[in-house]
Amino acid sequence: MTTKVKPIPAGYHTITPKLAVRDADKAIDFYKRAFGAEEQMRVLGPDGKSIMHAELKIGDSIIMLNEEQPQMGCRGPQTLGGTPFFLSLYIEDVDKAFNRAVSAGATVLLPVADWFWGDRAGKVADPFGHEWFLATHKEDLSQEEIRKRATVFFAQMAKQTS
C-alpha cells in the first residue's frame, strides 16, 4: 500500500531560500541569537564536520543553509564579494528585533524608520554577507495612498541630494 506524499512538505512554503555560508556552525548560532531561529535539521558532509544541509525555522518559515561548496558551484556572499538579494523578515517588533540582530553582530545598512508603504523597517547585513530587511507592518494602505506617499518621499529625497 502506498500513501500519497504531499508535494510541499508540512511547514514549508512554496519558495524556501537556501543560503550558502562560510562557517555554517557559526552562522546557525548567529541566526539563533539574532533572529530566534530554531534548528530543525543538520546533515554533516562526508568529512563528518562540515554542514552539507541544515534547516532553520524563523517565525513560520524555513530557511535552508549549507557550507560553501565551490566544487559544486555553491558560493556565499563572502566569496562572491556581496549578494544580489536580501531576505525580508516580518516580525512583531522591528525595533526590538533590529537591536537584537545588531547586538548579535549584524551590521546596520539602513536604520529602522517608518516607510511610505506602511511598514516600519530597517536593513542589516549578517556576518556571513547576507542582507536582511526587518519589518513590522503598521498600516494597510491602498495602492493610491502608497503612490501619493511615494511621490512625497521621492520629492523630499531629491531636495536632500540637491
CATH topology of domain 18-161: 2,3-Dihydroxybiphenyl 1,2-Dioxygenase; domain 1 (3.10.180)
Q: For residue 1, what pLDDT band results from cuts at 50, 70 and 90?
A: low
B/e letters for 16-55, b = 16+ CB within 10 Å, e = fewer, are eeebbbbbbeebbebbeebbebeeeeeeeeeeeeebeebb
Domain boundaries, the chain: 18-161
What separation in angstroms does the CA of 157 have from each of 37, 91, 109, 119, 151? 36, 27, 18, 18, 10
Residue 94 pLDDT exceeds 70? yes
pLDDT tens digits, one per residue of 63-86:
999 999 989 899 999 999 999 899
**Backbone Cα Rg of the chain:** 19
pLDDT tens digits, one per residue of 124-160:
999 999 999 999 999 999 999 999 999 999 999 999 8
Q: How far is the C-alpha of 25 from the C-alpha of 120, rounded, in Å? A: 31
Predicted local confidence at residue 2, as pLDDT: 74
Q: Are 44 and 51 in contact (CB under 8 A)?
A: yes
pLDDT tens digits, one per residue of 5-58:
888 888 899 999 999 999 999 999 999 999 999 999 999 999 999 999 999 999
